[in-house]
């Protein structure tokens, strides 16, 4: 009886931690879900919904607009959390919900523009993702948009993004 219990629990334990598996690591698009909205005619609001166990580096967030005639101001980021890193020391990071306000000047007559957001993050499980690029097409009138296309370094380098590092 005790042997049977032992074997059952052994099997349960062995089946359990598939959570550490690659198949259970989220793709960067799932881990760092992004959407953006033209909240006012001169302000874009970017929202990140960061999955539990994942974080984004503050200093790796980069915003670019296309066409270049659309001018972005300095992004207003919230107070970051601090990650004590064995190698980098105190690193500023974001977890959970993140809202960034980016001032924008859209020239008259611009039908729509593309906001390109570059980010880089890691999982607490001990892996980091290559820099990600997500894009949202925004119209001249305030409204929301989900990240229209997203991708890793592969896509960003293949595309016409001005911010190639």
Partner 1 sequence: MKRSTRIFLFIAVALVALVAGLALHPLSRDPVAVTPPGLLDTPLESMDGGKQPLGTWKGKVLVVNFWATWCAPCRKEIPEFIRMQERLGPQGLQFVGIAIDEKDKVAPYLREVGVNYPVLVGELDAVELSRSLGNELGALPFTVVVDRTGKVVHSVLGATSEAQLEPVLRALY
> Where does this chain bind partner 1 (CB under 8 A)?
2, 5-18, 20-25, 27-28, 57, 60, 85-88, 120, 122-123, 125-130, 152-154, 157-158, 165
- C-beta of 99 vs 149, nearer to partner 1: 149
Q: First vs last Cα of the chain: how many Å apart?
A: 63
- C-beta of 9 vs 69, nearer to partner 1: 9
- The residues, ordered by sequence, that sit 6+ positions from 138 with a Cβ below 8 Å of its Cβ are 36, 37, 38, 44, 112, 113, 114, 115, 145
- C-beta of 28 vs 138, nearer to partner 1: 28
Q: How far is the CB of 101 from partner 1 (least distance, A)?
A: 26
Query: Residues 102, 43: contact at Cβ < 8 Å?
Result: yes
Q: How far is the CB of 14 from partner 1 (least distance, A)?
A: 4
Query: Residues 128, 112: contact at Cβ < 8 Å?
Result: no
Q: How far is the CB of 138 from partner 1 (least distance, A)?
A: 27
Q: What are phi and psi of 162, to 5 degrees?
A: -75, -25
Q: Which two tokens stand for residue 114?
A: 């593309």
Q: How far is the CB of 85 from partner 1 (least distance, A)?
A: 5
- C-beta of 13 vs 52, nearer to partner 1: 13
d(C-alpha 35, C-alpha 50), whole Å: 12
- C-beta of 22 vs 141, nearer to partner 1: 22
Give which of 69, 42, 16, 36 is closest to 138, Cα–Cα: 36
Q: How far is the CB of 118 from partner 1 (least distance, A)?
A: 13
């Amino acid at each position: 009886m005790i042997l049977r219990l032992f074997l059952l629990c052994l099997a349960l334990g062995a089946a359990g931690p598939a959570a550490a598996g690659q198949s259970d690591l989220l793709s960067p698009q799932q881990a760092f879900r992004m959407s953006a909205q033209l909240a006012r005619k001169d302000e874009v609001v970017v929202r990140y919904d960061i999955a539990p166990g994942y974080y984004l580096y503050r200093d790796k967030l980069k915003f670019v607009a296309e066409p270049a005639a659309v001018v972005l101001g300095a992004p207003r980021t919230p107070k970051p959390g601090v990650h004590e890193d064995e190698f980098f020391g105190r690193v500023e990071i974001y977890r959970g919900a993140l809202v960034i306000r980016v001032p924008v000047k859209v020239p008259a007559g611009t039908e729509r523009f593309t906001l390109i957001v570059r980010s880089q993050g890691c999982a607490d499980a001990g892996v980091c993702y290559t820099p990600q690029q997500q894009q949202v097409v925004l119209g001249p009138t305030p409204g929301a948009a989900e990240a229209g296309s997203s991708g890793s370094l592969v896509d960003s380098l293949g595309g016409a993004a001005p911010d190639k590092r």
